[in-house]
Amino acid sequence: MRAFRLAAYESTPQLQQVEMPAPGPDELRIRVAACGLNFADLLMMQGKYQEKVAPPYTVGMELAGTVDAIGDGVSTFKPGDRVAAFTGQGGLAEYAVCRAEMCATMPASMPFPDAAAFLVAYGTSHLALAHRANLQPDETLVVLGAAGGVGLTAVEIGARMGARVVAVARGADKLAVTERAGAEVCLDSGADGFDLRAELKALGGAHVIYDAIGEPLATPAMRALHPEGRFLAIGFAGGTPPAFPANVLLVKNLSVIGLYWGAYLRFAPQVMTGSIATLFGWYNSGSLRPHISHTLPLEQAADGLELLRSRRSTGKIVITI
């Protein structure tokens, strides 16, 4: 089969012919239809992700496809089932093997590209906003990096939960995407003299900050939080994690809350399962629709990663197999 393989950290992945994997106990083999790209894929390829995968390996941490074979002990899926899966690696290939617990049955109405763009981004934002930050209707939610893969889902879910959503992104085109996703206010972080703290103060401040960027936007956003505000640390696509002054956190009774979605598979899988069920229900009702800015074939997987690296995409990039 064909697979998009990384030979060493910081090297360029290559499309190669490799042996088709066989499912082991409690595993499924999936005929991959689509693979969603994530910023975490880039970090993993550099050896900088929270969970390191030693090369060589096949790139791609989330996928959708059809169960092709099952290993011993699998009773929840059968060949022919349509599934979305969070695999951590292996998605950019014609077939992938993963543990059954990492898979979810797709809604019947969901196309494979939507499913491949769904689990990581929507799962991250829903657990962050509903489970960790306890976002309430009519609160003001500020989303930094609002046009990106996870940021855009935070806009969409925040609006679905009844919050007033303020989207922060660079450029009119990206802000237009956030507005269509439900943002009430759109702020251009690329504008000359942009002062995020002043902009948010003029809007009345914020109750929750959703940050997938880090500095230089994180600290000024934090300083615009109301007392008892919550700052969600989701990622650091800007390259620099914030280092908040503890005296400000103390005086304003602020909470800084971390969210690593994949870890819930280990310590609280029932929380993740319930979240995914809620999200699939919202999809079925028409409340959620993944925004996919680019759909490319496996032969152009490198182009998709470069679009992600250079921030020329909005929402998700999906590779079809």
Domains of the chain (ranges; CATH) run: 2-118+290-320 (3.90.180.10), 121-262 (3.40.50.720)
Give the single-character DSSP code of 118. T
Q: Which residues pair with 65 in a beta bridge?
A: 32, 83
- Rounded-to-integer distance, Cα 33 and Cα 67, Å: 11
Question: Residue 239: what pLDDT?
Answer: 84
Q: Is residue 125 a contact partner of residue 161, using CB atoms and an 8 Å limit?
A: no
- Quick one: tokens of 59? 């790139």
Cα–Cα distance, 148 to 315 (Å, whole number): 5
Contacts of 243 (CB under 8 A, 6+ apart): none
**By C-alpha distance, which of 297, 229, 320, 275 is closest to 127?**
275
All residues at 6 or more sequence positions from 280 whose CB lies less than 8 Å from its CB, including other chains: 104, 106, 107, 110
pLDDT at 50: 86
H or E element at residue 101 = none
Structure tokens at 297: 């074939």
Q: Is 293 exposed, middle or buried (0-12, 13-18, 19+ CB in 10 A)?
A: middle
**pLDDT tens for each residue of the chain, 321 residues long:** 999 999 999 999 999 999 999 999 999 999 999 999 999 999 999 999 988 999 999 999 999 999 999 999 999 999 999 999 999 999 999 999 999 999 999 999 999 999 999 999 999 999 999 999 999 999 999 999 999 999 999 999 999 999 999 999 999 999 999 999 999 999 999 999 999 999 999 999 999 999 999 999 999 999 999 999 999 999 998 889 999 999 999 999 999 999 999 999 899 999 999 999 999 999 999 999 999 999 999 999 999 999 999 999 999 999 999
On whether the CB atoms of residues 161 and 282 are closer than 8 A, the answer is no
**Phi, psi at residue 16, to the nearest 5°?**
-130, 165
Predicted TM-score (pTM) of the model is 0.95
